[in-house]
Structures are given as structure tokens and as C-alpha cells.
Amino acid sequence: MHLHRIRVVRDALDANETIARENRADFDHAGVTVINLMSAPGAGKTTLLERTLAELNAMSAPPRVAVIEGDVQGSIDASRIAEYHVPVVQINTDAGYGGECHLDANMVRSALSSLPLDDIDLLIIENVGNLVCPAEFRIGEDRRVMITAVTEGEDKPLKYPLMFRACDLVLINKIDLLPYLDVDVDVIRRNIESVHPGVPIMAMSTRSGAGLGPWCKWLVNVTRRTTVSA
């Protein structure tokens, strides 16, 4: 039973890798940079997207952005993002047996025909809120970014190391709440560093706007770099 299960899981991950590479080839062909945005439920992914779209819109020559929203159920997030007049596609993962806890490459692939790939520079994919499985499924992304909120406590990097290791950038969100918590942001930084040495870390508050500038600059930089090399 156990070996059989491991084989099934490995086959599923292999099949996912194949489709992820196809997605990646299509993104490269269209010159689109893709960000896979992950976090626990309620860490602030959608609010970060809203603030980011507003910030980018205020730039002189902003990248053209589209968004894929991944949720088990509902289209609350897609409705929020649509307010910013960017192309947005909602993927619901509850079509599977019981509801999937992550996006996989095939779900993203099914959304591609609804997106104007040739007319965008940057695709941000908001994954299902979960600190475990999304880290195991590539979806064709260039960069993986995760958010950890200070309200989640200091120990999350030690308890969910795979997610922290899988990411190219870790955002520490909700720092405006630090005065009201028994949490030391330096301990969070040290714990991230202990499981993923050298990973870039940015502290921010999507509520106050603190730290949004460096994040948007990072985003524009990775978009330009990929576009140039494509």
C-alpha cells in the first residue's frame, strides 16, 4: 500500500512536471514572466496583488499584467482583482474529488486560452492558501514568491521548510501589527535564513503600504530581465 502510494504520487508529480514545462515554453514564447504567489490562508496574497496593481498603474511604463486566481471555491478574489481592469481568470480546484489544496500545471494550462498572453508581460498566479502542497507542484512559473504574515508566529519556516526552501523571495507581511504581537521579526528572519540560506527577504505591510516599493521594483526587474532574455 505504501509503496504503491509513493509510486502513484511520483507518477502524478512527473506528469505535472511535463505539463509545467509545456506551460513554461508557451510563456517563454509569448515573452511573459510568471510569478507563482503562495502563502497560508489569509497571509495577504490578494491584498498584495491589489496594492501591487495600483502601484504599477502609477508607474510611467508599467508592465502589462494578468492574474490567475486559484481557490478551492468561489470567485471573491477574481472579483477583487477585476476592479483593477486587468485580465483575470479564476480557477476553482473543487472540481476534483473533495477539492484540491493546490494548483497544478494542468489547471493553469486550462486557463491559458482565456488569457491574452501576447499582450501581457507579467502573469501573477495566486495559488490556493496552503503552506505544504503548492510547493510540490510546478506550474510553469519563472519565480516563486511566498508571503508569511507576522501574525502566523515565528516558527513557520521550521515547521513548513519545503515551502520556504522552494521560494525565490520571501515577503514578511503585516508588520504594522508587530506592536500588538509577541513576535520578533528578527527571529522570523533568522528562521527563514536557517532553512533557506541567502534567500531574499522583504518586510512589508500591505495595509500601511510599507515595503511595497522594493517589492514592486523586484517585480519589474524580474519581468524586464526575463523579457530581454526571451
Binding of a copy of itself by 174 (CB under 8 A): yes
Binding of a copy of itself by 126 (CB under 8 A): no
Stretch of residues binding a copy of itself (CB under 8 A), selected from 21-29, 35-43, 49-57, 117-125: 35-43
CB of 226 to a copy of itself, least distance (A): 28
Binding of a copy of itself by 187 (CB under 8 A): no
Between β-strands 169-173 and 143-149, what pairing exists: parallel, antiparallel or unpaired? parallel
Helix (H, G, I), strand (E, B) or coil at 147: strand
Residue 87 to residue 80: CA distance in whole angstroms: 12
Q: Which is nearer to a copy of itself, 54 or 181 (CB)?
A: 181
- Rule CB under 8 A: choose which of 118, 180, 186, 197 binds a copy of itself: 180
Binding-site size for a copy of itself (CB under 8 A) equals 49
Binding of a copy of itself by 210 (CB under 8 A): no
CB of 116 to a copy of itself, least distance (A): 27
Stretch of residues binding a copy of itself (CB under 8 A), selected from 30-38, 109-117, 176-184, 213-221: 176-184
Residue 70 to residue 68: CA distance in whole angstroms: 7
Binding of a copy of itself by 184 (CB under 8 A): no
β-sheet bridge partners, residue 37: 126, 145
Residue 168 to residue 173: CA distance in whole angstroms: 16
Residue 33 to residue 35: CA distance in whole angstroms: 7
Residue 17 to residue 14: CA distance in whole angstroms: 5
- Contact between 211 and 204 under an 8 Å Cβ cutoff? The reply is yes
Residue 33 to residue 36: CA distance in whole angstroms: 10
Q: What does the per-residue mask of binding to a copy of itself show for 132-151, with x meaning CB under 8 A? A: xx--x------------x-x
- Rule CB under 8 A: choose which of 161, 168, 199, 202 binds a copy of itself: 161
* DSSP of 155-200: -HHHHSHHHHHH-SEEEEE-GGGGGGSS--HHHHHHHHHHHSTT--
Q: Which three cell numbers stand for residue 55?
A: 502601484
Neighbours of 29 (CB within 10 A): 11
Q: What does the per-residue mask of binding to a copy of itself show for 64-83, with x meaning CB under 8 A? A: -------xxxx-xx------
- What are the residues binding a copy of itself (CB under 8 A)? 1, 5-6, 8-10, 12-13, 15, 40-42, 71-74, 76-77, 96-101, 128-133, 136, 149, 151-153, 155-156, 158-162, 174, 176-177, 180-182, 207
